[in-house]
Chains A and B, each alone.
Chain A
Amino acid sequence: MPRFPYDERDLAKFREVQQLAYHCAEQVAAWIEPGVTERQATAELRRCLVRAGVQDFFHVPFAWFGDRTAFRHFHTPLQFFAGSRVLAEGMPYVLDCAPVVDGYTADIGYGGKVGDNPVWDLLAKDLRTYRDLILREVRARKPLAEVYAAVDAQLAVHGYDNRHQVYPGRVIGHQVTRNTARGPAGVNLFGFGVRTLQTLGRELVKERLEGRSPLWAGGRASRHAPTPGLWAVEPHIGFRDVGIKFEELLVVTDEDAYWLDDDLPHVRRWDLQEATA
C-alpha cells in the first residue's frame, strides 16, 4: 500500500475547494426556480465557479431535474449531460460539479427540491445512514467491494435502489489526486477535463499494476482495502422517480479515515433536523 501522500496544507487546500464548490451549489440552489432548464442551471453553476476563481474542471458541471435525478430511462452516457428538462413545482434536482484550483480537486453533489416532495424528504433524511455506514466500514478497513455490498444491503432494507450503478463503471466513488498534468486547462473531452483524463489514465495504469483500482465499484477490481489518499464518494439513492446523492471527499490515512469536512449543507441539515426533532 502506498503511504498517505498529503500534508495538512494540502488537506486545507482540498477543503477550501470543496467549500467553494458547495458554496456555489448553494447559490445556484437559491437562484433556481420553476421554469429553469438543466442547461441554464449548469451555466449558472459554471459562471459562479469561474467567478470564484476556478480555472479548470475535473468534469463539466451537471444538473438533473425530476425523474432524471434517479437516472430513470438512462440508456447512454450522453443522457448525463444537462438537457432541456424544465424544473417544475415539486421536482427534485441534483447539482454536481468538480472544480480544480491549483491542481486541488473537489467533486461534489448537492440534492434539492422546489416546493413539496415527501419522497425527497424521506430520502434526504435517510441519506445520513449511508454517510455513517461508509465511514464505519472504511474505518474497519473492509475491502471496497464489501463496503459497496454493505451499501446495497442497506438500500434493500430501506427499500431504495442503487442509482450509482448507473454511473459509468457502476462506481460509488473514485480516487482524487492532486492534478499535476499539463494539458490545456478548461478544455474537456466527453465531459471530462483533458487534465483529468491524463491524470486518471495514469492512475488507472499505475493502480492496475498494483492490483488496485482508483475506481470504487462492486466488482473484482475493488476487492482491496481502501487505498490511502482521497476518495470522492457519491452514494446515489433513489425511490421511484426521485433520486438524491451527496458527494464529498473521504480522507483515508494509513490507519484511519474521516470525512474531509463536516461543515457541509447536508450535514448541517441533518444536525438541524435532529436538534429540532
Chain B
Amino acid sequence: MTGRSNGTHGTDAPRRRTVDSGGLALAVYEQGDPARPTVLLVHGYPDDHSVWDDVAADLAADHHVVRYDTRGSGASGVPATREDYRLELLGQDLYAVADAVSPDRPVHVVAHDWGSVQAWEAVTAPGSYRRIASYTTMSGPCLDHMGHWIRHRLRRPTPRHLAQLLRQGAHSWYIALFQLPVLAPAAWKLGLARLWPRVLRDLEAVRPRPGHPQATLARDAVHGIELYRANMRPRVRAPRERHTEVPVQLITLQRDHYVADFLSEGLERWAPRLTRRTLDATHWSALLEKGTTVAAMVREFTARDHGAVRREPSAAGELAVVTGGGSGIGRATALAFADRGTRVVVCDRDLPAAQRTAELCELSGVKAAAYRVDVSDGAAVDAFAQQVAADHGVPDVVVNNAGIGHSGTFLQTTEEEWRRVLDVNLWGVIHGCRAFGQLMVERGTGGHIVNLASAAAYLPAKQLAAYATSKSAVFMLSDCLRAELAPHRIGVSTICPGIVHTNITRTTTFSGLDEAALAAKQAKVSKLYARRGFPPEKVAAEILRAVRTRKPVVPVTFEAKAARLLGRLSPALLRKAARINAG
C-alpha cells in the first residue's frame, strides 16, 4: 500500500454513528473488525477526522479504528459558549466515545496537535489506565506539563533555558494571535481557509489531495479558536500536577514548525512509562504524507503487551545494543535501558557475562539477548550487526562501550601492546559505528550512537600513551561522524568518564611488568578506584540522558569535568601535568 490511500481501504467504508457527550452530539466513524483492539484517533486544529484517512485505512487491516470530529468541528455539534470548550469537557468527550465503541476493553488512543492536548487531559485523569491501554501522542503537549515546563525555566533562567523559552515562544506566535478578538476569525473567513492547501504544500510539504482539507474548514477553524481561548491561559498560569500510569509513546516530528522537541524534556516525571520515537516529518506531513509510517509505529506500540509489561518479556519496542555489556559501565547501561522498557542486545568477548546481563535485563520485563563478539574483529562485528537486524530489528541506540585499559609510557609500550589497545578501543568503535550506522541510515527513522571515550581523551598523561591516544581518536571520530549523520537524524554522543569503579582495573595491563608485579599493580589500582567509589550506574544514567537530550559530549565524574574545563582555560597546564607519573 502506498502513502496515498483513498481513505476507505477497500470495502471497509467508515460506519457513521452519533455519540452523546453531556448533551452534545459527536460524529463518530468506525472501521475494521470491532473484535480487534480498538484505536481511537483524535484530530487537531483546524482539522476534522479526515486528517487521519491514511493512518486509519492502514490500521483498519488489524484494528477496530474509531475516529470522531471533536466538539465544534466537522459533523459534530458546536458548543454554545467558550466555557463549553474547557479541557475537562474535551476529556469527557474522549471517554464518552471510548465507552460507546469499546465498553468492555480499554482503547489505544492516538492523537495529534489539539487532539493530543485533549487526549492528555483524558490520559492524565485518575484511573485512566482502566479505560486507556496506551497513548501515542504527536505535536500536542499536556498544557499543565507545559505550564510546569515554563515555570521551571523561568525559575532557573540559565542561558539554555532562556533560549528554549524564546524558541518555543517563536513557535507559538499564532497562539498570541488567536487571543485577539476579531482578527483571527476574520483571517480564516477572509481567505486563509482557501489558501490552506497552499500553506500545507509550501510550508508543510503536503501534496494537495481531493477531499482535503474538509469542506467545513473555515467554520471549524473559527470555532476551534475557542479551544485556545478557553484553555491556554488558565492551564499555563496555574498548572495542575497531572501524572499517568498509561504507557505513552511520544512521536517527535523533527520538522515541526509549531511544537519544539525540547518541550518534552522531563516528560518522564509525569509519564514514567514513556517511549520516545522520532519521525522525519512536518506537523502535517506526518499524517498526510507518512500515514503508513505513523500507522506502523502505532501498530508496534499497541501490539506490546502493556498489561504484562513487568511480567512477560516484550518482543517489540525500542532496541538498544551495548558492546562489552558483560561488566561495568556496559552492564549498568544495558540494565538502565531495560529498566526503561527498552529491549537490549549485549555482546561481549565473555559470553557467560553477557548472558548474565541479559538475564538481569529480562527481570525488567523486556526481551534481551547476548552474543559472543570480539569487537576488534571487523568481520565479526558486521556479522553481529546483520544477526541483530535479522533477530531483533535495526537498533535505535548503539553503545560502543567495549574497551580495555593499558598503562605504559610511549617508549615502554611495545608494538604489540599498541596494536591490542588500538584494535579494541579504536577499531572496536570504528567497526561498531560502521556496521550499525549503515543499518540505521538505511532504515531512515533516525537513532543514536554512543561512544565511550574517556577523560583521557583530552587529559594527556605520559603513563597512558596508548590508552589516551585510542580514546582521543574515538573522541574525534565521534565529532566527524556526528556531522555526517546529523541529516539522517542519528545523534552521536561521546562519553568521557573519569575514575569509575568497575572491573577494568583488574584486567588493565601494564608495560614492562612481570606477572607478580602486574597482579600487585592491578590490586593497587583497583583499590584506588574502589576508594573513589564512583559507580558505573551513574555513568549509565548519564548515557541515557545523553541519548534523550542528544548531548554531543558528556564528561562524567568531577575529575573528568574539571580536566575538560582546565584544558580549555590552560592547555599548557595540562601538558605540564602530563609529566606527573600517575601510573
How far is the CB of B256 from the nearest CB of chain A, in Å? 37
- Chain A nearest Cβ from B522, distance in angstroms: 13
Contact partners of A239 in chain B: CB under 8 A: 360, 363
Chain B binding surface, main DSSP class: helix
Interface contact B360-A159, CB-CB below 8 Å: yes
C-beta contact mask, A131-170 vs B, less than 8 Å → 1, else 0? Answer: 0000000000000000000000000111100000000000
Report whether A119 and B357 are in contact in the complex, using a CB–CB cutoff of 8 Å.
no
Inside 8 A of A159's CB, which chain B residues have their CB?
331, 335, 356-357, 360
**Contacting residue for B356 out of A116, A118, A119, A157, CB 8 A:** A157
Instruction: For the complex, give the distance between the alpha carbons of A158 and B327 in Å.
Output: 10
Question: Is A122 part of the binding interface, using a Cβ–Cβ cutoff of 8 Å?
Answer: yes
Complex contact B503–A122 (CB within 8 A): no
Shortest distance between the CB of B519 and any CB in chain A (Å): 14
Judging by beta carbons under 8 Å apart, are B356 and A158 in contact? yes
Please measure, in the bound complex, the distance between the C-alpha atom of A118 and the C-alpha atom of B353, giving whole angstroms. Answer: 20
Residues of B within 8 A of A156 (CB): 327, 503
State whether A118 touches B363 (Cβ < 8 A): yes
The dominant DSSP class at the A interface is: helix
Please name all residues of chain A whose beta carbon is closer than 8 Å to the beta carbon of B335 when the two chains form the complex. 159
What CA separation (Å) do A122 and B357 show in the bound complex?
A: 13
Smallest CB–CB gap between B332 and chain A, Å? Answer: 9
A125 nearest CB across to chain B (Å): 11
Which residue, of B311, B353, B360, has the highest number of chain A Cβ atoms within 10 A?
A: B360
Cβ–Cβ contact A122 & B363, under 8 A: yes
Contact B363 A157 (CB under 8 A): no
CB-CB contacts below 8 Å: B341-380 with A:
353, 356-357, 359-360, 363
- CB closest residue in chain A, given B356: A159
Give B341 Cβ to nearest chain A Cβ, in Å.
15
| Whole-angstrom CA separation of A116 from B357 in the bound complex | 22
Contacts of A122 in B (CB 8 A): 359-360, 363
Partner pick for A119 among B353, B363, B503, CB 8 A cutoff: B363
> What chain A residues lie within 8 Å of B353 (beta carbons)?
157
A47 to B335, CA, bound (A): 42
Which residues of B sit under 8 angstroms from A119, Cβ to Cβ?
363
Question: Which residues 369-423 in B have Cβ within 8 Å of A in the complex?
Answer: none
Closest to B310 in A: A118
Q: How far is the CA of A119 from the CA of B327 in the complex (A)?
A: 19
Q: Mark B559-579, 1 if CB is under 8 A from A, else 0.
A: 000000000000000000000
Closest to A159 in B: B360
* Complex Cα spacing A109 to B357, Å: 28
CA A119 to CA B363, docked complex, whole Å: 6
* Alpha-carbon distance between A157 and B311 when the two chains are bound, in angstroms: 24
In the complex, what's the smallest C-beta–C-beta distance from B401 to chain A, in angstroms? 15
CA distance A157 to B331 in the complex (A): 11
**Which residues from chain A contact B359 at a C-beta distance below 8 Å?**
122
Q: How far is the CA of A159 from the CA of B328 in the complex (A)?
A: 9
Closest Cβ of chain A: how far from B60's Cβ, in Å?
37
Residues of chain A contacted by B357 (CB below 8 angstroms): 159
Smallest CB–CB gap between B336 and chain A, Å? Answer: 11
Query: What A residues does B360 contact at CB under 8 A?
Result: 122, 159, 239
Measured between alpha carbons, how far is A122 from B362 in the docked complex, in Å? 11
Bound-complex Cα distance A159 to B357 (A): 8
Q: Nearest Cβ in chain A — how far from B360, in angstroms? A: 5
Find chain A residues with CB under 8 A from B327 CB. 156
CB B346 to nearest CB in A, in angstroms, measures: 12
Which residue, A119, A156, A159, has most C-beta atoms of chain B within 10 A?
A159
Min CB distance A117 to B, Å, is 10
Nearest-Cβ distance from residue A122 to partner chain B, whole angstroms:
6
| B282 to A: closest C-beta gap in Å | 42
**What's the Cα separation between A122 and B353 when bound, in Å?**
16
Contacts A/B (CB < 8 Å), 19 sampled: A116-B311, A118-B311, A118-B363, A119-B363, A122-B359, A122-B360, A122-B363, A156-B327, A156-B503, A157-B353, A157-B356, A158-B356, A159-B331, A159-B335, A159-B356, A159-B357, A159-B360, A239-B360, A239-B363
8 closest residue pairs by CB, A with B: A159-B360, A119-B363, A118-B363, A159-B356, A159-B331, A122-B363, A159-B357, A158-B356
Known: A116-B311, A119-B363. 10 other contacts (CB 8 A): A118-B311, A118-B363, A122-B359, A122-B360, A156-B327, A156-B503, A157-B353, A158-B356, A159-B360, A239-B363
Measured CB to CB, the residues of A under 8 A from B are 116, 118-119, 122, 156-159, 239
